[in-house]
Amino acid sequence: MKLLSKTCMYGIRAVLYLTSLEQEKSYVHIRQISEHLHLSFHFLTKILQNLAAHNIIDSYRGPNGGVSLARPARKIKVIELINAIDGKDSFRGCILALPGCGEGTPCPLHAYWGETRDRIKSAFENTTLAKLEKQITEGGLRLI
């Protein structure tokens, strides 16, 4: 069972780290992020390029360059990251992969699955980076 791809996990962790720094619009080097989270710098760079293309983070080249959140953390929903990295249809996936499903009668596992899946999805839709960050600081939760 894989809720998110590894790529997506890395993206979320990186952006949560950015959130935790909560500097006012100053760029953070990707190298700093990758070292802090123990991730491959090059791989993370690719992931963050994607998030930049989706206007979730801003990026800037050269010395003093780096990445930063494109908006305040309370305006970025976790589902946005998931959609950007794992694709919009990530939560459309079903349980038995029947050909041409969703139109006719459902498979016998649909009842169990559909509801649960929607609940998971809406949890991500209703969670902002700020919300998660609050939990991190209040609950002593960790990113690494």
Partner DNA sequence: TTATTTTCAGATAAAATAGTCTTAAATATG
Partner DNA sequence: CATATTTAAGACTATTTTATCTGAAAATAA
Which amino acid, one-letter code, is at 51? Answer: L
Instruction: Pick from 52, 94, 130, 136 the residue near ligand SF4 by CB under 6 A.
Output: 94
CA 13 vs CA 18, 19, 66, 142: distances in Å? 9, 10, 16, 10
Residue 15 vs 128, nearer CB to DNA: 15
Q: Name the minimum Å distance from CB 113 to its own copies.
A: 7
Among DNA, its own copies, ligand SF4, none, residue 102 binds (CB under 5-8 Å by kind): ligand SF4
113 binds ligand SF4 (CB under 6 A): yes
In terms of Cβ atoms closer than 10 Å to its own Cβ (0-12, 13-18, 19+), residue 33 is: buried
CB-hemisphere CA count at 13 Å for 69?
A: 25
Scan residues 10-39 and list those touching its own copies (CB under 8 A).
Answer: 12-13, 16, 38
What does 21 interact with, of its own copies, ligand SF4, DNA, none (CB < 5 to 8 A by kind)?
none
Size of the site for its own copies (CB under 8 A): 45
Work out whether 4 is an interface residue with its own copies (CB under 8 A). yes
The residue among 27 and 91 lying less far from ligand SF4, judged by its C-beta, is 91
- Which stretch of DSSP H or E encloses residue 1? none
Q: Which is closer to DNA, CB of 40 or CB of 135?
A: 40
- Note the Cα 10 to chain centre separation in Å: 8
> What are the two backbone dihedrals, phi and then psi, of residue 68, each rounded to the nearest 5 degrees?
-155, 160
